[in-house]
Amino acid sequence: MPLVDVDTLLQKAEEGGYAVGAFNCNNMEIVQAIVAAAEAEKSPVIIQASQGAIKYAGLEYIVALVETAANTASVPVALHLDHGTDFEQVVKCIGKGFTSVMIDGSKYPLEENIAITKKAVEIASVLGVSVEAELGKIGGTEDDVTVLEKDAMFTDPEEAKIFVEQTGVKSLAVAIGTAHGQYKGKPELDFPRLQKIKELTKIPLVLHGSSGVADEDLKKAIELGIRKINIDTNIREAFVQGVREVVAKYPNEIDPRKILGPARERMTEVVREKIRIFGSNGKA
């Protein structure tokens, strides 16, 4: 079926009390693995591309790959821009066929973040494209920040209320203790903060940096209102483990298909597992 928008998927997730997985892609094998997993689990799915993915694969290739995947799939697939940082790119992605964009104004002061998000919402909503925004700062696990600094980066619930009211944004990425990349220790999520943000905004919330978050914590976050869960690192790990295994076992292998095929299967398994944890299996 043709690509679907994200807001519709998240609205259904809101009603059904589950979350939809948003998985990062960088090449054909990753796109195929994600869609194969969604098909096997009869789940809606969001495939997203970061700035890095667009730079690596090219915008046209990303769109063509994901559109092809969606058109040949029996489950709903959305194409989302992950961490869009400037308005021009958001517009370009919408023009090329993305059905959802994130405008990440989290590095700006509140007023500026509100202004660019509002502008993105105005343009996107006319075209039926979904917009996700970020409030608070979701850093990387490599960022060397103290606990106090971390707390200052977290999303403020009252600010979130104002932000949502003033921008009209339909989904919001929250900073509640997760970070992008491989965790050194166990991530501690601020659940009371999440609960408060949900109470005050009442919109689908998004969890970034979700690879490495304990399954029980993901489930609790869903109970408290997380409806979109971003996973990249776990897919990268599965890909590389798959490649390493084949190369170690068959050092003379030179057929890329024999190396990437098993890696693709491993990624499918990881995505299937996540889909079941998020509770979106059987919801397509």
Is 52 a residue that touches ligand G3H (CB under 6 A)? yes
What distance in Å separates the CA atoms of residue 155 and residue 77, rounded to the nearest whole number? 29
- Residue 181 near residue 142 (C-beta atoms within 8 A): yes
What distance in Å separates the CA atoms of residue 9 and residue 20, rounded to the nearest whole number? 7
- Which residue's CB is nearer to Zn ion, number 169 or number 284? 169
Is 82 a residue that touches ligand G3H (CB under 6 A)? yes
What distance in Å separates the CA atoms of residue 204 and residue 90, rounded to the nearest whole number? 21
Task: Please report, for residues 104, 189, 205, 257, the alpha-carbon distance to residue 196 in angstroms, rounded to integers and kept in the order given.
Answer: 22, 13, 12, 49
Q: Using CB under 6 A as the criterion, what x/- string covers residues 175-194 for binding ligand 13P?
A: -----xx-------------
Residue 61, number of CB atoms within 10 A of its CB: 16
Task: Please report, for residues 50, 73, 183, the alpha-carbon distance to residue 226 in angstroms, rounded to integers and kept in the order given.
Answer: 21, 26, 20
Half-sphere exposure of 158 (CA within 13 A, CB side): 0
Q: Using CB under 6 A as the criterion, what x/- string covers residues 14-43 for binding ligand 13P?
A: ----------x-------------------
Which residue stretch of 53-61, 64-72, 197-205, 225-233 sits at the interface with ligand 13P (rule: CB under 6 A)?
225-233
> Would residue 82 show up in a list of annotated catalytic residues for this protein?
yes
What distance in Å separates the CA atoms of residue 24 and residue 267, rounded to the nearest whole number? 11
- Which residue's CB is nearer to Zn ion, number 68 or number 85? 85
User: Which partner, Zn ion, ligand G3H, ligand 13P, none, binds residue 43 by CB below 5 to 8 Å per kind?
Assistant: none
User: Which partner, ligand 13P, ligand G3H, Zn ion, none, binds residue 211 by CB below 5 to 8 Å per kind?
Assistant: ligand 13P
Binder to ligand G3H among 51, 125, 166, 241 (CB under 6 A)?
51
Burial 199-227 (b: 16+ CB within 10 A, else e): ebbebbbbbbbbbbbeeebbbebbebbbb
Shortest separation between residue 155's beta carbon and ligand 13P, angstroms: 15
Is 106 a residue that touches ligand 13P (CB under 6 A)? no
Shortest separation between residue 24's beta carbon and Zn ion, angstroms: 8
Q: Which of residues 153-212 bind ligand G3H (CB under 6 A)?
A: 180
Binder to Zn ion among 208, 228, 272, 283 (CB under 5 A)?
208
Q: Which of residues 75-104 bind ligand 13P (CB under 6 A)?
A: 82-83
What tokens appear for 164 in the block?
């949502």
Binder to ligand 13P among 233, 267, 275, 283 (CB under 6 A)?
233
Residue 281, number of CB atoms within 10 A of its CB: 17
Q: What is the dihedral of CA 23, 24, 25, 29, to 10 degrees?
A: -50
Which residue stretch of 57-65, 92-100, 147-155, 204-212 sits at the interface with Zn ion (rule: CB under 5 A)?
204-212
Is 228 a residue that touches Zn ion (CB under 5 A)? no
User: CB neighbours of 256 closer than 8 A, spacing ≥ 6?
Assistant: none
Is 230 a residue that touches ligand 13P (CB under 6 A)? yes
Q: Which residues bind Zn ion (CB under 5 A)?
A: 208
Q: Which residues bind ligand G3H (CB under 6 A)?
A: 24, 50-53, 82-83, 180, 232
Q: Which residues bind ligand 13P (CB under 6 A)?
A: 24, 82-83, 180-181, 208-211, 230-233
